[in-house]
Structure 1
Amino acid sequence: MRSRAFRLTLLSVAIVLVVALVAAVVAAFVVVRRPLPQVSGSLKVAGLQDEVTVTRDARGVPTITAATPHDLFLAQGYVAAQDRFFEMDYRRHVVSGRLSELVGENADALEADKVIRTFGWRRVAERELGLVEESTRTALEAYADGVNAYLDGKAPSQIAVEYTVLGLQVDVDAPEPWDAVDSLAWLKAMAWDLRGNYDDELSRARAYASVRDVARVDELFPAYPYDLNASILTGDDLVTPTAAAAPGAVLDLDDAGIQRALDSASKALAAVPHLVGEGEGVGSNSWVIAGEHTATGKPLLANDPHLGISAPGVWAQVGLRCSTVDEACPYDVSGFSFAGFPGVVIGHNADLAWGLTNLGADVTDFFLERVENGRTLRGEETAPITTRREVIKVNGGDDVSIEVRQSVHGPIVSDVLEVDAVERAPLPDGIVGREYEVALAWTALAPGRTADAVLAMATARDAEDVARVGRLLDVPSQNIVFATTDGHIGYQAPGRIPVRNVVPGDVPSDGTWPRPGWDPAYDWQGYVDPEVMPRALDPVEGFVVAANQAVTPAGVGPFLTDDWDYGYRSQRIRTQVESAIESGTPITVEDVGTLQNDQHNPYADVLVPWLLRIGIEDTFADDGQQLLRSWDRVSSEDSAAAAYFAAVWKTLLSLTFADDLPDGDMPDGGSRWLEVVRGLLDDPDSEWWDDRTTPGLLEGRDEILYQAMVTARLELTQQLGRDADEWRWGRLHSAAPEHPVLGGSSIPGLVRNFVNPDPVGVGGSSSIVDATAWDASQGYEVTAGPSMRMVVDLGDLDSSTWVSFTGTSGHPASPHYADQLGAWADGRTFPWPFSSAATTADAVDRLTLHP
């Protein structure tokens, strides 16, 4: 009896535990699904003037149809909040320097807030609201009204599961209303991540601190290889503004005070979160082919921007349609938008398609300021430093107050961190009270009209309309490729580009190095006239490729930058398009999609012939080299040789440069480093090859190549196994989207696994057309990649194709949170219906919004 009673007791306990577990699972199920939006039936939405329909396809992509622009943008705001409000809220906290207000006491969040408050992104956005056209302001306000209509009366747990999780650690109140400035401030974050040569400018100065030779630093930043890789345009009919020459001060980069100030600035700016991506992998492919070479007789346009990977992905697919398209309501557009901003950023309307790639223009400069008694030296005089007080609210903690200072050149970023973290040094002459600071000049810190450009692009019809957009798109500076349904193709370079004096001296004055702020000769002299920015219409080649390479031939056109992507990716696209044209076979949408997924490795073209010259006698160590002998030089996901080659490349960079460069500046392995190594291979005795940590030994090229191969063999043996034939690139090279707040290693695994989609092994690599970048100083994981892919058929818009990185929804419990990731990883796309008939036929859900 006792034994039976004990068993019954255990059974009772088990039943209780099971019931409790089931209750917990049910509760969790309810919690995570509670924020999912209603997508069918009807809803009353405050502020609407008439009914609006929202249809969604099988992947949850909405097409919004309304009678007026007001209702169209209000509904877009409503739908964006339905799908992605937490993403929008997180972004606005970041770009306003209020992240601590959302996530609580966190050192990284606080440092980010300090830097962004110093920049004053939201302060600039507030000024922009009064600068943009009335129609743009009206669209922004209608969008905000739609967001707020969705939020009205909802508890945080009804809006996003992230608020429920955050509520376990901090106080979570109902989100504050959205406003038009929240949308404009987001543009600053986008501009920051796409700002051009900012990192290279600091890297040059830091490298100089190690090698003490400007010429040697220049070897690490070689000139663009125009002889190998073509520019976007040929340079015909381009105007070349002449930069004025001016005598200037000598910039002494050996000064310890300068190096300390630059180091402080670098550490402070590293705290800024990157919302669309960072590093060498941030770029894009785009190209357009004239109808004379296509199967439909009309142009084909392709675009795949390379941005950081995240969950959800950065893009929100959407269609925006006026029920009657006329002058009063001119919108009939589909494409990729940013949640939190009205309109479509990349896509097509009924007449024109456009793609964007980062132009990479040099729109930032670091100005070293000599400060004496609270004023900056300016020639023979001084100028005041303005100050303001910023108060950062910390959820669950004490407010933090900082003083923001600004010179005539911009905000002073070298003292953003706690004062005791900034080491200051007097000038060598020992003048008491004088020190160095670093100010950042950046075109995005002046109010601009980029918001006007985004909405104007949605209704553009021809080259003249695109040129108008180019005059409005101040930052970020983007290459625009376009094509029209009546058969034209073209290119437009927009952007607010600084004009700089030519100042003689050892350190260039073209913006590639920090500038002495005490000498007015180095000040910006205004901006390039938009009328002389490079453009082309119907080039004789019959195509345009814009993939972050140089825009014009050397010395032609206005000065934009010297720090381009080095063009290996763009040249591969160009070569393949030329080959297709020469074959005479009409090019199809499928052909263009195949090229977007091209995985030919230009690094292998440069390096493999040299690696195969090196003798390796040991049969075990030789296994990797044997893979290279039969490799097709395609970095596919299932390639053993691609895995080995990547390990060799990573090791080669470390062996060659780790002993020469400062911490934090190890090569990332991008196109610049390919060009650096290409130049060194013809110089077997270059001092870069020698490892300074091995006194008494003088290594040359062949020794380093040998060590790289042997070491890579050992590394992959540990990571992937002894049998080299069983290695796979995709086992090393995976794309792992991470939630920006709940996806990190400090978050409990159960939550991480819920909000982070499963990693996927992929092919491709840095500077490959299928540009799944990785950082050779860190590991092989994907750091940036094609954030979407689209191919637009101007002969039949309904035959166009598209795919997004993860999915349309920002809710982890939604079936559309990551339902496109598998197709993206496999290089597949989905049909992209556009016409009213096609989108109606493709719809699986229909929602009516009414006043």
Structure 2
Amino acid sequence: MTIATVVRSPLPSYTDDVTVPGLAKDVTIKRDELGIPQIYAEHSDDLFYAQGFVHAQDRFFEMDYRRHVTAGRLSELVGENPDALAADKLIRTLGWRRVAEKELPLLDKSTREYLQAYADGVNAYLAGKSPRQLGLAYTVLGMNNEIDSVARWSPVDSLAWLKAMAWDLKTNFNDELDRAGMLSTVKEPETVDSLFPAYPEDHPTIVTAKELAAGRGESVKGTVEESASAGGAAEADSHAWVEGLRAGNPAGAAHKALNAVPNLLGTGDGIGSNSWVVSGELTATGKPMLANDPHLGLAAPNIWYQAGLHCKSVGEACPFDVAGFGFSGLPGIFIGHNQKVGWGFTNLGADVTDFYLEEVDGDTYRRDGEDVPLETRTEEIRIAGAPSVKIEVRSTVHGPLISDAYDDAKTASRSVPNGQKDAAPAGEDDDEEAQQRRPYALSLSWTALTPGRTADAIFLLNTAENFDDVREAARSFEVPGQNIVFADTAGHIGYQTPGKIPVRNNVSDAPAPSDGSWPMPGWDSSYDWQGFVDFDELPSVLDPRDGVIVTANQPVIEPGAAEFLGADFDYGFRAKAIQQQISAAKKSGRKLTAADMNAIQNSSTNEFAKKLVPYLEDVYVDEFTREAVDLLRGWDYTQPADSAPAAYFNAVWKNLQRVTFDADLPEGMSADGSDRWMAAVMKLLDDPDNKWWDDSRTQNSVENRDLMLAEALTSARSELTASLGKNPEHWEWGMLHQLRLEQSPLGGEGVPALIRGAFNAKPVGIGGGTGLVNATSWDASKPGYDVESGPSMRMVLDFGNFDRSTWVSVTGNSAHPFSPNYLDQLSAWAAGETFPWPYSGKAVDNATQDEMRLLAERAG
């Protein structure tokens, strides 16, 4: 068999008609030059059957890979691999698929039918095909692990993907663990909290208390009546809590276990999104416009799959006429529009996870002064080509013991004397008494581990006709917590907070904050969740007076007005920049167009740099460094790929965090350059002698702000001289800030270069950066400045004429490396360009390049 045959074998035909079992009527699939399908059917089940078929055509290996990940069975696919095994251990501990299996019978009958029809369509494409005919990745993996066949698709396979979505879109999660982990070196909770500053007063919230005057959400505080601690004296509890988090750092063990999950949507700063909507009074068409660009991990293929789902005759029997972005493996459209309504999502950032520090003794754990049994189960992890591995999953009333999923957790955890609240003294872990002490472990409460009905919400959104319908869909949208922005062809715009939000006690004399911002004492039931916030009390706004709603992961409402949502949100640099650009257009009387909305999406003004640069310009440095500092004089604070000032500023920012914070932070928790660190440094700039400015590594001197700024400026000058050349005028941000798209699992390190080259895109230098509207975020705690996450797609909806809407994906619709649609949108995306979005029948016909039919089997 030739190489050409091997690489072309998985490529599907877009023009051959195929007779398939299970269809009621024939289905037509029209594709444009980008390979984006528009599906036309007479029945809803046939529509989703066809969607499953085209997803399998273009992306089955991606679907199968995700299926293995979400079931904790990745080792079955890739073989003996420590990273795969670590991921399997954690996901089995969490039990994603177990939860999905329980969700299926809870869903509406029609949703279950759509899921089954979708699965039937996937399986129709799989029928009679060998793995090598489904994806080149199977051929490559088959060189080491024999892969003779693939399993049929099931509705539970689709539902399990919702757990992966919820996992990657939780946000407070990392902040909570970071607070706990920092105690091992920073020591005092108050000092740790200084690195988690309050939301800047001059940055906007999504809505205001005045806009909520109608009553939704305004009066809710998210706590029940004040409760006394049930676990003993507050002073002893506080000692156990603080020492338990410091000693042996079980939070650190949990962090390492949690980081084992493969990057499916993305993790880290920048995982959020921009979405905003403006009323027709502000647009050139006189109708609303809505923009959305979700910020997720960027990979090849992109997370999104573009499609249109059209009933030939829209009615009760077939109510769908929807187009937009969805996920391979899941039926329906996740973000997009139908004939009347459009919607976008950004990550809400509500606190839906809490960690609990547990006192564990053998098969029991401490609970209100008593020992109660742990729940246990055994999971067997099969490994292709190697013996299976068995793990014991232990759970408390709060949830699974996450720290168990990290192999070294039990040796890393310090302990307390059996039945007591005092931590083990340093250096006594190996004596006889220490062997009888209770080890600490960390459990996880997470809303997504409770079966829910989020899948129902997808189809309710797809058929919504007005804001009340959108709110009804949001009622079922339990996880992940999202902000929903809405507009319709009648001219209305709106906002809705969905999600399952825990209610927490306000514990008096608390040894730990009871608001969920820190891991809480599991031995005290006062810290348990008390239920969930009623949906009708969540913030909701229709047609605000100023005609603008901006969501960019900032707080929904002013701090203190909706405490139940949590405390850890984006710090609003992006939201402020978007608001400013819309306000400038309003003041000038200029009406917004779709092109203006896209221009805002691509804007790269660095609001944080506006705060920091004046301090940098005033610092004394040598002449060599001054040549670089002069780049910042007169800088417009934008970060296009060819900007020399942007290259230098970001290098300075990275070095400033290194010299200021890293010596005092635990391993693995270095400053990453996210908006939180920006907000923290903004506070410190006004306090030049704050102890954070003092470098603890220098024993005989005390540094201040200006000395640290000077060191960062000098280090950045030396760094860029070595990497980009001696002349600062020749530096370019895109030379440092590059996007490297990889396909999992065959595009990563450890894979032969020839194979990586087939699956990965060539590096692309791009503009933007962390905390900017064009949020191509990078991680300052890692070497280099490569893009970690960014706008996974960009769309603008024009409610005056949907055919004037625009869209673009970071890669392309196909996951086959040798398909012309694998990376065909990348260059446009990198340049900030978009494509026309055909929706009407006439527009689709004009754009159609390939057409095929799925033919129903005829009797006889």
TM over 0.5, yes or no?
yes
Match of 1:690 among 684, 688, 694: 694
Distance change in 2, residues 1:679/1:254 (3 Å): same
Q: For residues 301-700 of structure 1, what are the structure 2 equivalents within 5 Å?
A: 301-418=290-407, 422-428=411-417, 429=420, 432=436, 434-504=438-508, 505=510, 507-557=512-562, 559-618=564-623, 620-700=624-704
Displacement of 1:263 after TM fit? 2.4
Contact 2:483/2:496, CA 8 A, preserved across alignment: yes
Distance change in 2, residues 1:574/1:257 (3 Å): closer
Displacement of 1:595 after TM fit? 0.6
Displacement of 1:825 after TM fit? 0.2
Where 1:807 maps in the other structure, the secondary structure is: coil
Distance change in 2, residues 1:257/1:775 (3 Å): closer
Contact 1:379/1:518, CA 8 A, preserved across alignment: yes
Letter of the 2:756 partner, please give it.
R
Displacement of 1:466 after TM fit? 1.0
Contact 1:368/1:436, CA 8 A, preserved across alignment: yes
Equivalent residue pairs, number? 825
Letter of the 1:170 partner, please give it.
N
Greater CA drift, 482-491 or 433-442: 433-442
Letter of the 2:575 partner, please give it.
S
Where 1:89 maps in the other structure, the secondary structure is: helix
Displacement of 1:463 after TM fit? 0.9
Where 1:398 maps in the other structure, the secondary structure is: strand
Letter of the 2:520 partner, please give it.
R
Structure 1: distance between partners of 2:244 and 2:463:
54
2:39 corresponds to which residue? 64
Distance change in 2, residues 1:420/1:494 (3 Å): closer
1:17 corresponds to which residue? none
Structure 1: distance between partners of 2:603 and 2:31:
31
Where 1:144 maps in the other structure, the secondary structure is: helix
Where 1:452 maps in the other structure, the secondary structure is: helix
Contact 1:304/1:790, CA 8 A, preserved across alignment: yes
Distance change in 2, residues 1:373/1:746 (3 Å): closer
Contact 1:717/1:723, CA 8 A, preserved across alignment: yes
Structure 1: distance between partners of 2:371 and 2:463:
49
Displacement of 1:688 after TM fit? 0.3
Where 1:59 maps in the other structure, the secondary structure is: coil
Is residue 2:264 matched to residue 1:275?
yes
Contact 1:314/1:787, CA 8 A, preserved across alignment: yes
State the Cα deviation string for residues 362-400 of structure 1 (Å, max 9, x = none): 000011111234222211333221111111110000011
Where 1:383 maps in the other structure, the secondary structure is: strand
Where 2:400 maps in the other structure, the secondary structure is: coil
1:739 corresponds to which residue? 743
Contact 1:415/1:422, CA 8 A, preserved across alignment: no
Is residue 2:111 matched to residue 1:107?
no
Is residue 2:244 matched to residue 1:239?
no
Letter of the 1:29 partner, please give it.
A
Displacement of 1:251 after TM fit? 3.5
Is residue 2:243 matched to residue 1:255?
yes
1:720 corresponds to which residue? 724
Structure 2: distance between partners of 1:624 and 1:414:
46
Give the TM-score taking structure 2 as reference length: 0.94
Structure 2: distance between partners of 1:177 and 1:347:
29
2:771 corresponds to which residue? 767
2:424 corresponds to which residue? none
Displacement of 1:231 after TM fit? 3.9
State the Cα deviation string for residues 137-175 of structure 1 (Å, max 9, x = none): 000000000000000110111110000000111111211
Contact 2:183/2:245, CA 8 A, preserved across alignment: no
Greater CA drift, 588-597 or 550-559: 550-559
Greater CA drift, 366-375 or 300-309: 366-375
Structure 1: 5+ residue stretches without partners? 1-23
Distance change in 2, residues 1:845/1:205 (3 Å): same
1:50 corresponds to which residue? 25
Letter of the 1:633 partner, please give it.
Y
Letter of the 1:322 partner, please give it.
C
Structure 2: distance between partners of 1:354 and 1:582:
27
1:122 corresponds to which residue? 97
Where 2:153 maps in the other structure, the secondary structure is: coil
Identity among equivalent positions (%) equals: 52
Letter of the 1:385 partner, please give it.
L
Distance change in 2, residues 1:68/1:669 (3 Å): same
Structure 1: distance between partners of 2:32 and 2:562:
45
Contact 1:257/1:435, CA 8 A, preserved across alignment: no
Contact 2:512/2:521, CA 8 A, preserved across alignment: no
1:12 corresponds to which residue? none
1:786 corresponds to which residue? 791
Is residue 2:66 matched to residue 1:91?
yes
State the Cα deviation string for residues 276-309 of structure 1 (Å, max 9, x = none): 0000110100000000111110000000000001
Structure 2: distance between partners of 1:540 and 1:677:
35
Contact 2:619/2:710, CA 8 A, preserved across alignment: yes
Letter of the 2:342 partner, please give it.
A
Contact 1:264/1:422, CA 8 A, preserved across alignment: no
Contact 2:403/2:442, CA 8 A, preserved across alignment: yes
Contact 1:240/1:558, CA 8 A, preserved across alignment: no
Contact 1:371/1:436, CA 8 A, preserved across alignment: yes
Letter of the 1:643 partner, please give it.
A
Letter of the 1:303 partner, please give it.
N
2:154 corresponds to which residue? 179
Contact 1:257/1:427, CA 8 A, preserved across alignment: no
Where 2:402 maps in the other structure, the secondary structure is: coil
Give the TM-score taking structure 1 as reference length: 0.95
Where 2:692 maps in the other structure, the secondary structure is: coil
2:804 corresponds to which residue? 799
Match of 1:227 among 176, 199, 202: 202
Contact 2:244/2:357, CA 8 A, preserved across alignment: no
Q: CA RMSD in A?
A: 1.4
Structure 2: distance between partners of 1:499 and 1:668:
31
Displacement of 1:418 after TM fit? 3.4
Letter of the 2:299 partner, please give it.
S
Structure 2: 5+ residue stretches without partners? 232-236, 421-432
State the Cα deviation string for residues 472-523 of structure 1 (Å, max 9, x = none): 0000000000100010000000000000011133531100000111101000
Is residue 2:810 matched to residue 1:810?
no
Letter of the 1:241 partner, please give it.
V
Greater CA drift, 739-748 or 222-231: 222-231
Q: For residues 152-167 of structure 1, what are the structure 2 equivalents within 5 Å?
A: 152-167=127-142
Structure 2: distance between partners of 1:674 and 1:156:
48
Where 1:621 maps in the other structure, the secondary structure is: helix
Displacement of 1:45 after TM fit? 1.7
State the Cα deviation string for residues 327-353 of structure 1 (Å, max 9, x = none): 110000000000000000000001001
State the Cα deviation string for residues 240-279 of structure 1 (Å, max 9, x = none): 2242211225343442576432222222112122210000
Is residue 2:69 matched to residue 1:80?
no
Where 2:541 maps in the other structure, the secondary structure is: strand
